[in-house]
Each structure stands twice: as structure tokens, then as C-alpha cells.
Structure 1
Amino acid sequence: MRKSILSSLMLALCLCVLALSGCASSKDTNQLDRQTYAYSAAIRWGDFEGAWTLVDPKYREAHPLSDVELERYKQVQIAGYRDLAEQVLPDGDVVREIEIDVVNRHTLTQRQTRYTERWRFDAESKTWWLVVGLPDLWQD
């Protein structure tokens, strides 16, 4: 009987540990969902400066966004932003394939472009950062 109680306690302890580890990963996933939603909303509304704040600070420092680049983003309207696929990489980063409908404000022509986002979790700041910069909406 004592052995049965001990086994039950060990099983309960293992289940608690698994449940807690599940909570931690779902918290990271929820935070990633919030970050990607905020980023996609900023892009959809043409708030590229707001989207820029969700880019990894190291990337922003290495690749500063110029006034000319910001003005170029003002020449387009985003008509659609769709998540096509998402994959968790072995290092924990998340890659998302995105399709963006872009309208040139001057010619009113619309085209589609694809963009691959890569998100990294920074344990120190407990934040997910986009590590690839803003989408290149002028690629050929």
C-alpha cells in the first residue's frame, strides 16, 4: 500500500512538472501571437515606423532605417497580409511565410509579394523579436 501511495505521488509530481512546462511554452506562444499580430496590424495599416519597433534592436542598429526608406514605404498601401505557413526551427526561432498585397499609391497598380519572417525569443528581455527587418516590397 505504501508503495502504491508513493507511486501515485510520483505520478502526480511528474504530471505537475509536465503541466508547468506546458504553461511556460504556451506563454511564449501567446506572447509570439501577440507580437506577430501587432506587427501584422502595423504593416496592414501602413505604420512601418511602428512595425520597425518590433524588429530586433541588434538588427536595427546594424541596418538603420533611413528617411528615404520610410518615405518609400509611404508610397504603398497594403491591401492584404496573409499567413501562409509557420514552422518552429530546432533553435526555437519561428519562421512564418507571408503573402502581402501591395498597391502603389501613385499608379494604383496592385501586386503580390512574399516575405519570410523569422522571430527569435530573447530570454533576457522576455520578448520575441523579428530578426529580418521590414519586408522588401519592391523586390522583382
Structure 2
Amino acid sequence: MRLVKYLLLSCLFAFAVAGCQTTGTQNNRLTEMQYAYSAAVRWGDFEGAANLIKPELRKQLAPTPMQLERYKQIQVSGYNDVGSEVDKKKGTAARVVNIGVINRHTMAERSVRYIEAWEWDPVAKTWWLIGGLPDFWQGE
């Protein structure tokens, strides 16, 4: 089951990257990358989501093995876009989302607000996540 999810998300990511390099505007590319990212988070593929972190920041922002184990303790129940903003001059974008999170052990559900921060890479012609993955345990 996990392999099927991984293959599906890999295909989505490959199509998103291929689409980013061949057609569409910079905004369309942002939408494609945000869709791939939100799909990875919704399906609990946090390793796949970490692959969308800017390569130069990946070592610093990618989840540690312990953090990945912690992500296995939750189930994402919703991922809702609240608002977004693009600064074309700076080549940055931000999207505010509410993420529904269920603790697998207690079955308690709560909502976490998260801000995705993105940066345009003109060489790779793609957007990279520059803010890291959501911290579902902030304030606990």
C-alpha cells in the first residue's frame, strides 16, 4: 500500500515538474507544485513532501528520522487553502492553509494553521518550498 502511494505521488511530482518545464505561466507552475505538495501532505507522504524543499535548504529543513516517525502518529483529515500571495518581483509566494490533524492514538482531531513559503527558481523553472514542513506539535 505504501509503495502504491509512493509511486502515485512520484508520478504526480514528475508530471508537475515536467509541466513546469514545458508549458504554462509561472503562476500555473506554482499551482502545480502546491498541488503536488498538498497531495503528499494529505496522503501522509512527508518524505515525498520534503523532496519539494529547495535543494540548498533540504539538509537543514528536511525532517529527521525521529520527526518522520512522529509524523506516522497523525492522520491528515483536511487541507484547506485560506489565502495566498505572490510577489513576482521577489520571486516568492506564500499560501496560508488550515490542516486538519487526527492523533492516531487518541483519535482527537484539531486544526493547525500553516504558512507555505515558496521561492521561484528561474534556472530550474520551478518553485521550491523554503519554509519546511508543517509542525503539527507546535504549542503542545
TM-score range, shorter chain: 0.7 to 0.9
Unaligned regions of 5+ residues in structure 2, if any?
Answer: 1-23
In structure 2, the partner of 1:21 is: none
Q: Deviation string for 1:16-38 (max 9, x for gaps)? A: xxxxxxxxxx5111111110000
In structure 2, the partner of 1:99 is: 98
Q: Deviation string for 1:67-112 (max 9, x for gaps)? A: 1010000100000000000011351311100100000001000000
Check whether the contact 1:59–1:132 (CA below 8 A) recurs between aligned residues: no
How do 1:100-119 residues align onto structure 2 when only pairs under 5 Å count? Answer: 100-119=99-118
Partners of 1:65 and 1:100 lie apart in 2 by 18
In structure 2, the partner of 1:69 is: 67
Specify the structure having the higher radius of gyration (Cα): 1
Task: Give TM-score, length-normalised by structure 2.
Answer: 0.78
Partners of 1:136 and 1:38 lie apart in 2 by 19
In structure 2, the partner of 1:44 is: 42
Check whether the contact 2:86–2:94 (CA below 8 A) recurs between aligned residues: yes
In structure 2, the partner of 1:17 is: none
Partners of 1:31 and 1:64 lie apart in 2 by 22
For this pair of structures, how many residues does the alignment match? 115
- Provide runs of 4+ in structure 1 moved above 4 Å: none
Task: Give TM-score, length-normalised by structure 1.
Answer: 0.78
Residue 64 of structure 1, CA deviation: 4.2
- After superposition, the CA RMSD in angstroms is 1.1
Residue 43 of structure 1, CA deviation: 0.4
In structure 1, the partner of 2:5 is: none
Partners of 2:62 and 2:52 lie apart in 1 by 14
Residue 65 of structure 1, CA deviation: 2.3
Identity percentage over the alignment?
Answer: 48
Unaligned regions of 5+ residues in structure 1, if any?
Answer: 1-25
Q: For residue 99 of structure 2, what is the amino acid of its counterpart? A: I
Q: What SS does the corresponding residue of 1:108 show, helix, strand or coil?
A: coil
Partners of 2:108 and 2:57 lie apart in 1 by 31
How do 1:17-32 residues align onto structure 2 when only pairs under 5 Å count? Answer: 27-32=25-30
How do 1:112-127 residues align onto structure 2 when only pairs under 5 Å count? Answer: 112-127=111-126
